[in-house]
Amino acid sequence: MILSEAPLIDPKVKQVFTGITTLIRSRIKLIGTLFLIGLVVGIPLAKSLINYLLESGLIPDDVNIIILTPVEFIMIQVKVGAWLGATLAITALVVELGWKSELSRRIPRPGRSMIITIFAIILLCSAGLFYSWELLTPMLLQYLADDAQSAGLATDWRLSSFVGFIVNLCIACVIGFQAPIITTLSLRSGAIDRVSLLQYRRHIWFGTCVLGAAFSPPDPLSLFLVAVPVILLFELAMIYDSFTGGSKGANV
């Protein structure tokens, strides 16, 4: 039997991961500093966040929020700080990776493109938060409460579960709504060609559904409400690219 001499990992992929690993190691102090800043700032903000969530009107009728142990509230504050710190660190790494990659050399007027990209990211983040806060979260909370009450069950939420549920949905929508940015930048920078992206369209759809299931309650309605907007945004980005002529050689 003749074994193939082809490498198990594509050299280009290996080079990308090597570069990312090197950057993370060289910026470990910055990552740690940003994480600690987020932790220090996030812990005091957690109390205000919890009060806001409890008074926001999201809690359905006949639903109670309970705390089983005093330590639970402290752990929520630590988690909120950790979420904020991780967000700051990851954002800094992504910005630096994008700036040091070939993207800034392949795109004309990289400074202008960076401003437009940042504006689009903020706009899509706002759209994701609006969708999660105004539509998705109230609908799912009411749906889950009605489903439990119809079975004669008590509808009590642990405070940590309630806060985690809302925050996870917000994070999922904020990240998912970045699909047009990721798709467009990947195509324009040459990180992936249009033919390959269309070839793996089913895999992208499936991966979106898997991520939607990870951030939503385990029922078809929740999965549909989380995954479908992301898939639609991805398809809109592909249509936009075809009309603007950013990538050639394939049809939508």
Residues 189, 102 contacting (CB under 8 angstroms): yes
Query: Three-state SS for 35?
Result: helix
Tokens of 142: 């009411």
Domain parsing of the chain, residue ranges: 12-100, 110-149+157-252
Rounded-to-integer distance, Cα 9 and Cα 242, Å: 31
Going by pLDDT thresholds of 50, 70 and 90, the confidence category of residue 243 is confident
What is the pLDDT of the chain when averaged over all its residues?
78
Tell me the percentage of the chain whose pLDDT exceeds 70. Answer: 78
Residues 209, 220 contacting (CB under 8 angstroms): no
Tokens of 88: 């700051």
Tell me the percentage of the chain whose pLDDT exceeds 90. Answer: 4
Instruction: Sort strands 64-66 and 156-158 into parallel, antiparallel or unpaired.
Output: parallel
Nearest residue to 40 via CA among 80, 70, 76: 80
Instruction: Look at residue 1 and tell me whether its pLDDT is greater than 50.
Output: no
Q: What is the pLDDT of residues 227-242, one digit of tens each?
A: 889 999 988 988 888 8
Residue 139 belongs to what H/E stretch?
A: helix 137-150
Q: What is the pLDDT of residues 196-229, one digit of tens each?
A: 778 878 888 888 888 777 777 667 777 888 888 9
Structure-model confidence comparison of residues 234 and 70, the more confident one: 234
So what's the pLDDT on residue 142? 87
- Residue 39: partners with Cβ closer than 8 Å, 6 or more residues away: 78, 81, 82, 84, 85
Rounded-to-integer distance, Cα 225 and Cα 229, Å: 7
Of 47-61, 100-114, 161-175, where does mean pLDDT reach its minimum?
100-114
pTM here? Answer: 0.72
89-114 average pLDDT score: 62
Tokens of 135: 């539509």
Q: What is the pLDDT of residues 155-171, one digit of tens each?
A: 888 888 888 888 888 88
CA 103 to chain centre: 22
Torsion sign across C-alpha atoms 227, 249, 116, 110: positive
So what's the pLDDT on residue 71? 86
Of 52-66, 109-123, 238-252, where does mean pLDDT reach its minimum?
238-252
Residues 46, 81 contacting (CB under 8 angstroms): yes
Instruction: Look at residue 32 and tell me whether its pLDDT is greater than 60.
Output: yes
So what's the pLDDT on residue 232? 92
Tokens of 121: 């990211």
Structure-model confidence comparison of residues 185 and 245, the more confident one: 185
Rounded-to-integer distance, Cα 23 and Cα 227, Å: 32
Residues 199, 185 contacting (CB under 8 angstroms): no
Residues 229, 176 contacting (CB under 8 angstroms): yes
Nearest residue to 144 via CA among 129, 174, 160, 166: 166
Residues 246, 202 contacting (CB under 8 angstroms): no
Rounded-to-integer distance, Cα 185 and Cα 191, Å: 8
100-109 average pLDDT score: 54
Residue 94 belongs to what H/E stretch?
A: helix 70-100
Q: What is the pLDDT of residues 106-159, one digit of tens each?
A: 555 556 667 777 788 889 989 999 999 999 889 888 888 888 888 777 788 888
